[in-house]
Amino acid sequence: GAVVSQHPSWVICKSGTSVKIECRSLDFQATTMFWYRQFPKQSLMLMATSNEGSKATYEQGVEKDKFLINHASLTLSTLTVTSAHPEDSSFYICSTTGQGAANSPLHFGNGTRLTVT
Amino acid sequence: DAKTTQPNSMESNEEEPVHLPCNHSTISGTDYIHWYRQLPSQGPEYVIHGLTSNVNNRMASLAIAEDRKSSTLILHRATLRDAAVYYCILRGRMGNTPLVFGKGTRLSVIA
């Protein structure tokens, strides 16, 4: 069964509104969560790394004030796309290493398809 | 991160074995070779990983060249559900590091 639950699986919103995406780890504590986005026909691009109880680290070119990440607990991380615009339409995916053991496989959520109209 | 090179696409007949190659000539001694796959409209899922020895699990086998500069993911009998993008990724031994995805190989399975 899924070890990472991501919600919602898809969302359509109007330009200028905000959207929150939740990522929950099931049966384990996720001290670190990675957020990716994927545009059509492209590969996954890392957006940010969040650690429980501290500020997220954003990749170059990703606006931290636009993509708000909260990782307040060991089982929940959220990504909020603020003032969404059509160019933010993408497939957003979270992942975690689970127990955080060195070189353990990553577990991924099933993704959230965001469409901004 | 050390880079990997994979063919853009491959095609297989159903019930046939599939060998997906990956070149990683700049691999370091502590890099593990990971394989993930992404089915349409889903997040990636872990397939297999290894360091030096060949590995087998219920999903696939991983054959690693003796010099570790290349590897091959083997699906023993392709099914239509195996149609996906397969990513070969090198990952160091440090924990809690993200995966860096390349373009992967898009596998098509023909009935």
- State the Cα angle at A15 between A21 and A84, rounded to 5°: 40
Q: Identify all chain A residues contacting B91, using CB atoms and an 8 Å cutoff.
A: 103
DSSP string for B87-102: EEEEE-SSSS------
Q: How much is the CA Rg of chain A, to the nearest whole Å?
A: 13
| Beta strand pairing call for A32-38 and A45-51 | antiparallel
Question: For A8-60, how does the pLDDT look when each residue is reduced to its tens digit (9 = 90+)?
Answer: 999 999 999 999 999 999 877 888 899 999 999 999 999 999 988 888 999 99
- Asked whether the beta carbons of residue A44 and residue B41 sit closer than 8 angstroms, the reply is no
Question: For B27-84, how does the pLDDT look when each residue is reduced to its tens digit (9 = 90+)?
Answer: 998 899 999 999 999 999 999 999 999 999 999 999 999 999 999 999 999 999 999 9
- Cis geometry, peptide bond prior to residue A8 (ω within 30 degrees of 0): yes
Q: Centre a 10 Å sphere on the Cβ of residue B57 and count the other Cβ atoms it contains.
A: 11
Q: Is the dihedral of CA A89, A62, A5, A8 positive or negative?
A: negative
| Beta strand pairing call for A67-73 and A19-25 | unpaired
Q: Per-residue pLDDT for A2 more than 90?
A: no
> Cβ(A112)–Cβ(B43) under 8 Å?
no
Confidence at residue A31, expressed as pLDDT on a 0 to 100 scale: 82
Q: Which residues pair with A113 in a beta bridge?
A: A10, A91
Q: Identify all chain A residues contacting B39, using CB atoms and an 8 Å cutoff.
A: none
Q: Centre a 10 Å sphere on the Cβ of residue B96 and count the other Cβ atoms it contains.
A: 18
- Asked whether the beta carbons of residue B41 and residue A6 sit closer than 8 angstroms, the reply is no
Q: Identify all chain B residues contacting A104, using CB atoms and an 8 Å cutoff.
A: 95
Question: For A69-116, how does the pLDDT look when each residue is reduced to its tens digit (9 = 90+)?
Answer: 998 888 899 999 999 999 999 999 999 986 655 567 889 999 999 999
Q: Which tokens go with B3?
A: 């880079």
Residue A112 forms contact with B (CB below 8 Å): no
